[in-house]
Structure formats: structure tokens, C-alpha cells
Structure 1
Amino acid sequence: MIVITLSKVPKALRGDLTKWCQEIQTGVYVGRFSARIREQLWMRIEKNIGNGEATMVYSTNNELGYNFRTTVSTKKVVDFDGIPLLMQVTPKNEAVKHGFSNAAKIHRAKKAQEKLMVKKSVTRAVYPDIVAIDIETTGLDCTQNSIISISAVRKVSKEYKTFNRYIKISTSIPENIVKLTGITDTLLVNEGVELIDGLKDLISFLRKSIVVGYNVRFDFDFLHAACKQVGLDLPANRVVDLAMLVKKDNEFLDNYRFATVLKEYEIDNTQPHNSLSDSMATYELAIKLIENGCLRI
């Protein structure tokens, strides 16, 4: 019998393993096959594991009756008089390189071909009528926390048209939010506007444009709650969550945090967690997805 455990590996590899093994629990595979198949399967795992980890345990003729292999960077299998043992090692601090498996390479090649085809009909000379939006808040709960910054960006004739408002609140900004965003109580007092005025200005800026954002439901949960608070209604613009499109366009990222995605698409964001800078980066991401044929306007 052979047992294989996987963690944080591409979905394609997990699916590949089910051809030979039964997944009895998430990431745990059990099977029975020849040593030749076992060796070839381990080679496939090492080749396509990406930044994940795998361990294989199999029956063999030694003192223990089993042997094992692992790709865990902090472990090393050593032979001690015919007995396999695990030795703890200190991993090297190396930069993680994404998307080096064969499946990832094939995926990138396919996307590159699609991008070339789309670029024949889509150019940056004509910018679509989209607005990228981002907000900063005092926390994650739209029923308990407040908006402190609203930004939006569109492009007209290759020039950014930006919207940015700091919003006054009746409480102090938590210290962790100040460190994250750089927004202070003093800034809101000196440059902030009332919530109703900021929302009215945003609605005017949005017009009937398609609105894009990254994990945009978070932003709109806060915006709807804020509009309800001051007696306004958000317009029924089409809203597109770029996070969902990125997951379809690039299946081999280790995570889909905004910073990771921007790095993958080679987009600079000079001030992370600044709503205006995040909005501009979101707009550029939308354009990249349009050129890739993933976002259709």
C-alpha cells in the first residue's frame, strides 16, 4: 500500500493523482501499484508540485517494513543502517518563484496566444468606459466600522481622471489602520468631507460606467451601508469583481492577495492600502484582463 499526502499544490496535480489513488481525505491519497508506477508518479509530483509539499509512504523490505519520501523543505530523509529517518534541516531563505510547473507553462502559453488574438481588436488608444474603485475603512464589518477614504479612477484620452475623498468620522481611527493606510484623525479633520457629500460626489463620478474592483463586494457592502445611513441610493451600475476573473485567468498562483496578483501581472502600486493608488492599480489590472480576453466590456 502507498499513502501520499499533499498540501498547497496546484489543483491540476491533485486531479492527476486520482487516476492512480483514492482521495480518502483532503490531500490524503491511498493506492496500490507497482514500484515502477510509484517511481514515475513521484517524478510527476516533484515536477508539478509548484510551491506545495508532498510526502509518500510505501511498503518495502526493511527493518521498519516501510520507507518514505518528502519534499518538505524542513525535513530530509536519511538512511541509518537501513532504517529511514527524518532529519530536521534549516531551509534557505530563497525568493519564491511562481508558476514553474509544466501545467503552468502550458497555461501561460495558451493565455499568451489568446492575448495576441485579442490585441488585434483591442488597443489602449480607445479606453473602455470603466471606473476602478477602492475604499479604506476602520475595520472589516460594514455594520460596525466606517469608511474613511473613497477613490475611483477612469481614463480619458490616455489621461487618468481621478476621484478621491477623505471622509470625516465621529470616532478615532484604530492605530493598526493608521499604520496600514497612513490616514490619521488629523488628516480627516483637515481634509475630510461629510459622508453624504463624499457619496454624492462618487455617484456623480461613476455616471453609468462599468465599475471594477478587487474583491469589490467588500467595497460595495460598505458603500450600500453608508448610503442607507444617509438616505441615498447607489446607482445600478454593472459591477465586476476582478478577483474572480484573475482566478480563471491564472490558476497557478499560490494565493490571490492583491499584491501577489499585481506582481504577477507586472503592475506597480506605489502606495499599497492607499485607496487612490489601489484604484489606479486596479484600473491597470482591468486593462490587462481585457487585453487577455478575460474581461469583456
Structure 2
Amino acid sequence: MTNCPPSLRGDLSKWLCEINTGVYVGNVSSRVRDAIWDRVCENLKNGQATLVFNINNEQRMDFRTHNTSWEAVDFEGIKLMRRPLPRTQAPAADLKPGFSNAAKRQMAQKMARKKAAAPAKEESYTVIDLETTGLNAASDAIVEYGALRVRDGQPAEEFSALVRGTEPLPDVVAKLTGITPEERSGGMEPLAALEAFLAFVGKDTLVGYHLKFDLDFLRAACIRNDRPLLTNRSIDVLPLARRKVSGVMNYKLLTLARHFEVAQQETHRALPDCRLIQQVYAKLNETGSAR
């Protein structure tokens, strides 16, 4: 990490050990890791950051980047770091005259970072949401798939599938979702549900709330079932809301939905949550939505 502000360095030091300037290492849960990364993305305005962490895949590792031209890409199931070719950089001819070459490069990089940080306004995409037996993608399972296809800003088609399982749902999950044993016994086999979901989303841009959670479970399911990993472009509504919305008690999905007056009650089912996420995402992309 570069240009780390003191407040962020203090937060990182609570969980990780700084072994060199800007280099932090530690052994934390995936939940803590994701919270730390969210904190980095929110507070590291001018610096760059790269996260490397263990995951249950062939390489036993994964990457994330922030404010850097290098990007993590999936190449036939292998995660690589890609460095952009020089021709992908902003041309110096577009910059104001009278600056040194070094200053022009810095301005070009700043413009590229600003463009990368700007929230995308997708009009055609697919919203996804999953219900699971727990929080650990490596050991827990997907209970329900939900997806909402959006075309030209309007919901066009829906997908919903319960997954049959031999083990009873944990009490907290059954109470939260309201999914009964009878409903689950009539669901699809895990592989069939996964394949139907993957076929529905295709190559669409994926939109979700705390999307990293869903993508981790999908990645684990694909690995277990020997299916190609998703490489779709993705947009997470949670960090987008944190950038654009102020004056709310918290950034839970239901809180944001009530802030935008699009819902009054909680559902905790995959497809209804997809509809809620789509409405919140649409509001966030409206002019003056940060109220």
C-alpha cells in the first residue's frame, strides 16, 4: 500500500502486522479481511493498494487491487495480475501544454484512477443474490439462487431456484429466510441449480449487494462441481451507496431501501432481495440521489 493515511494505518495495525512501510500481513477470517479491504477502499484516496489472500482454488490465492492500473484477471481458471499495455494509457497529447513529461504522466494516471473510481451506470445487467447455510464459502452451501435480468434499465426476466439438501437448515437460517423443509425437498439438485443459474446470467454484468460474499460462494460451487469460474464484470451496490449516500443510520440493504422509499419490510429471500437491490441501484444512479 502507498500513501496510507495515519487513521487507516491505525485501523490496519489492530488486525495486521506492518513488516515494512505499507506492507501488512496477518491471519484473519474472511469476514474481517473483507471489512479491512472495504475500509482501505473507502479511505485510501491517493494511494494504491493490492490485497493477496488465501482461497480454496487451484492456486490457493486470490488478488484484489485499488487505484492501480494493474488488475486481477481470470485466465482459464488461473488468477493473474495484468499490466496494461502503454497504448491503453491516456495520450499525452490530450493534456494541457506546458507541463513536463513526468507531470503529464502523473496527470494521466490521476485521470485514469478517477475514471476507474467513478460508479458505473449500467442500463443492461443482471442482479444476483444467494441464500446460504452460513458465512463460509469453503464449508457452507448455497440454499437458494435468485437473479433478475435488467434491460435498458427495466426488469425483464427473473430466475429463482431452491437447492435440495440432505442436511436440515441451521435454525438461524430457517428463521431468517422462512424456507421450510418441504420447500427445500422439492428444490433442484445442487449441480442442476448451479448450471441453470450460470446459464441465466451468461456474460452479463453482475450487480449485487455485498457482492463479494455471493461471488465467493459461486466460485466455491464452480470449483466443487468442476465448472468454469465466472469472469463477468461486477458492480457492488454497497461501496457505491457509501460513496453517494449520507445521513443514514447504516448501509444495510433494507436501510437504503427505506431511505429511497422503495420498501418497507425485510424478506431475506433471494429473488425479492434481487428486486430490492435493483431498485436501490437505480436510485443510486439517479441525479442527486445522495441526499
TM-score, normalization by structure 1? 0.53
| Contact map agreement 2:242 2:251 (CA 8 A) in 1 | yes
Structure 1 equivalent of residue 253 of structure 2: 258
SS of structure 2 residue aligned to 1:291 = coil
| Contact map agreement 1:153 1:162 (CA 8 A) in 2 | yes
Q: For 1:79-94, what aligned pairs fall within 5 Å after superposition?
A: none
Residue 182 (structure 2) aligned to one of 180, 186, 199: 186
Q: For 1:216-227, what aligned pairs fall within 5 Å after superposition?
A: 216-227=211-222
Residue 167 (structure 1) aligned to one of 163, 169, 180: 163
* Residue 177 of structure 2 is aligned to residue 145 of structure 1: no
Residue 209 (structure 1) aligned to one of 204, 207, 214: 204
| Contact map agreement 1:203 1:234 (CA 8 A) in 2 | no
SS of structure 1 residue aligned to 2:229 = coil
Q: For 1:229-240, what aligned pairs fall within 5 Å after superposition?
A: 229-240=224-235
SS of structure 1 residue aligned to 2:272 = helix
Higher RCO (Cα < 8 Å, 6 or more apart): 1
SS of structure 1 residue aligned to 2:203 = coil
Q: Aligned-residue CA RMSD in angstroms? A: 2.4
| Contact map agreement 2:258 2:264 (CA 8 A) in 1 | no
- The alignment-based identity, stated in percent, is 30
Structure 1 equivalent of residue 283 of structure 2: 288
Distance in 1 of aligned mates of 2:285 and 2:167: 41
Greater Cα radius of gyration, structure 1 or 2: 1
| Contact map agreement 1:142 1:225 (CA 8 A) in 2 | yes
The CA deviation at 1:251 is 3.0
Distance in 2 of aligned mates of 1:171 and 1:152: 25
The CA deviation at 1:290 is 2.1
SS of structure 1 residue aligned to 2:139 = coil
Distance in 2 of aligned mates of 1:292 and 1:168: 43
Counterpart residue identity of residue 162, structure 2? Y
Distance in 2 of aligned mates of 1:258 and 1:181: 15
Residue 128 (structure 2) aligned to one of 128, 133, 148: 133
SS of structure 1 residue aligned to 2:222 = helix
| Contact map agreement 1:154 1:283 (CA 8 A) in 2 | no
The CA deviation at 1:292 is 3.3
The CA deviation at 1:268 is 1.6
| Contact map agreement 2:168 2:181 (CA 8 A) in 1 | yes
Change (3 A) 1:269 1:133: farther
| Contact map agreement 2:253 2:277 (CA 8 A) in 1 | no
| Contact map agreement 1:214 1:243 (CA 8 A) in 2 | yes
Is there any run of 5+ residues in structure 1 with no aligned partner, and where? 1-14, 16-121
SS of structure 1 residue aligned to 2:192 = helix
Distance in 2 of aligned mates of 1:216 and 1:222: 10
Q: For 1:69-148, what aligned pairs fall within 5 Å after superposition?
A: 128-148=123-143
Q: How many residues align?
A: 170
Distance in 2 of aligned mates of 1:149 and 1:194: 11
Change (3 A) 1:269 1:175: same
Distance in 2 of aligned mates of 1:183 and 1:208: 30
| Contact map agreement 1:146 1:169 (CA 8 A) in 2 | no
Structure 1 equivalent of residue 193 of structure 2: 198
The CA deviation at 1:254 is 2.1
Distance in 1 of aligned mates of 2:151 and 2:235: 20
The CA deviation at 1:249 is 0.2
The CA deviation at 1:170 is 2.4
* Residue 272 of structure 2 is aligned to residue 277 of structure 1: yes
Is there any run of 5+ residues in structure 2 with no aligned partner, and where? 1-6, 8-120
The CA deviation at 1:252 is 2.6
Counterpart residue identity of residue 165, structure 1? A
